[in-house]
């Protein structure tokens, strides 16, 4: 047993020696390879000048920097795409908001923050605002400060503050109207005489009114029309006769009249821009009330014919129950070689307007009359 164990021990020692010998050989071979590579590098450096060697190093450095630059550019492009996507989502969210409502909410928040800051500066306790609300009820009207009205407001009814209401009327409901106070004087302690000038920017209609107002009873005592624009005096006379005692209706219906004139002008301009390059002539006549379009075309006998279409867009005041309202009426006339062939037969015209709307209906009617071959 001892002899066998000694022989096994001797074999193990021999195997360990062989392993150590192989490891030392591998290490020696690696060192020799490194020395050969260093020698080859030295030989290459001997063949290259210092400038060439430096140029190679610089070229390698340049390639490394360019690769890093390209990676940074890709990263920047990725961030730009993320930012643009976020901005588009934000714009889509903002487009869904009612701009008028957001502006009003902003004004209310500013007024509320101003009120809170003033209350914190002037009062000591945190419950001073609640204490003020619990105090006796104050009389609130259009002349009351906005902060005081907000302090005593518990409902969702419109605000009474006159300055805020006038500003929103000017910005959103009557953007084309200028109102100017010409003079203001006291007739007595309770009655104020005010002269105002109302001017419409598009039509240049100008009205000068005199109002006598009882500040105590808050009622209008007297209303006079001092001046009317000469160009519109006759046209507005039916309206003035029906609204002698009501300046609110007078100004409202005059504003509607101004809107109809603006709409007629925009429709005629759109028709001109659409057809004037295809026609011989396209003119607005009769004090901006008519549009005349002329085209020259070949008939069935290959002879040239002159087709002329006149569209009359009349705006006038018609009596409807108690009030005189501004209304519009469209008629048409059609000539062929100076022969009138269609007068105020608006069946087709009104059908197209009912189907497509005023502007698109007039376009289709003009194509039907002046370019019949396109429909054949």
Q: Which of 238, 258, 278 is the last residue of a domain?
A: 258
* Predicted structure pTM score: 0.59
Do 346 and 331 meet the contact criterion of CB atoms below 8 Å apart? yes
Q: Which of 36-40, 74-78, 248-252, 346-350 has the lowest mean pLDDT?
A: 36-40
Q: Which of 173, 191, 213 is the last residue of a domain?
A: 173
Say yes or no: 245 and 278 in one domain. no
pLDDT at 142 > cutoff 90: no
Mean pLDDT of 185-193: 88
196-206 confidence digits (pLDDT tens): 999 998 899 99
Say yes or no: 291 and 357 in one domain. yes
- Label residues 85-122 b or e (16+ Cβ within 10 Å = b): eeeeeeeeeeeeeeeeeeeeeeeeeebeeebeeeeeee
Q: How far, in Å, CA of 325 to CA of 254, rounded?
A: 9
Range of the domain at 360: 263-375
In a domain, 40, yes or no: no
Owner of token pair 């009249």: 257
Say yes or no: 341 and 238 in one domain. no
Give the model's confidence band at 358: pLDDT under 50 very low, under 70 low, under 90 confident, else very high. Answer: very high
In a domain, 19, yes or no: no
Say yes or no: 337 and 295 in one domain. yes
- Label residues 206-234 b or e (16+ Cβ within 10 Å = b): bbbbbbebeeeeeeeeebeeeebbeebee
Give the model's confidence band at 118: pLDDT under 50 very low, under 70 low, under 90 confident, else very high. Answer: low
**Domain tally, the chain:** 3
pLDDT at 100 > cutoff 80: no
Say yes or no: 268 and 365 in one domain. yes
Say yes or no: 285 and 331 in one domain. yes
Highest mean pLDDT among 24-33, 319-328, 344-353: 344-353
Say yes or no: 161 and 244 in one domain. no
What pLDDT is attached to residue 135? Answer: 52
Say yes or no: 276 and 326 in one domain. yes
In a domain, 94, yes or no: no
Say yes or no: 145 and 227 in one domain. no
């Amino acid at each position: 047993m001892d002899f066998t164990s000694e022989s096994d021990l001797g074999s193990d020692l021999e195997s360990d020696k062989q392993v150590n010998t192989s490891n030392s050989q591998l290490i020696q071979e690696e060192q020799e390879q490194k020395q050969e590579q260093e020698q080859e590098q030295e030989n290459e450096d001997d063949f290259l000048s210092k400038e060439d060697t430096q140029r190679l190093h610089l070229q390698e450095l340049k390639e490394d920097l360019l690769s890093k630059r390209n990676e940074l550019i890709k990263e920047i492009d990725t961030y730009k795409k993320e930012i643009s996507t976020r901005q588009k989502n934000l714009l889509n969210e903002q487009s869904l908001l009612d701009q008028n409502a957001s502006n009003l909410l902003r004004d209310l928040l500013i007024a509320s923050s101003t009120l809170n800051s003033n209350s914190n500066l002037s009062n000591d306790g945190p419950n001073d605002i609640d204490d003020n609300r619990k105090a006796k009820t104050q009389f609130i009207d259009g002349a009351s400060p906005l902060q005081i009205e907000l302090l005593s407001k518990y409902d969702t009814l419109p605000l009474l503050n006159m300055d805020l209401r006038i500003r929103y009327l000017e910005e959103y409901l009557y953007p084309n109207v200028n109102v100017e106070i010409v003079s203001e004087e006291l007739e007595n302690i309770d009655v104020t005489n005010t002269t105002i000038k109302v001017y419409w920017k598009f039509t240049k209609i100008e009205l000068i009114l005199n109002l006598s107002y009882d500040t105590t009873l808050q009622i209008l005592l007297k209303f006079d029309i001092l001046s009317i624009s000469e160009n519109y005096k006759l046209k507005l006379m039916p309206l003035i006769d029906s609204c002698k005692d009501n300046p609110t209706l007078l100004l409202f219906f005059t504003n509607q009249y101004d809107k109809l004139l603006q709409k007629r002008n925009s429709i005629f301009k759109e028709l001109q821009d659409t057809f004037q390059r295809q026609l011989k002539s396209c003119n607005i006549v009769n004090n901006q009330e008519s549009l005349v379009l002329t085209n020259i075309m070949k008939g069935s006998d290959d002879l040239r014919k002159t087709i002329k279409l006149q569209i009359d867009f009349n705006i006038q005041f018609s009596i409807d129950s108690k009030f005189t309202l501004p209304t519009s009426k469209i008629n048409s006339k059609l000539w062929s070689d100076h022969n009138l062939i269609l007068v105020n037969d608006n069946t087709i015209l009104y059908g197209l307007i009912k189907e497509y709307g005023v502007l698109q209906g007039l376009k289709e009617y003009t194509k039907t009359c002046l370019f019949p071959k396109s429909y054949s």
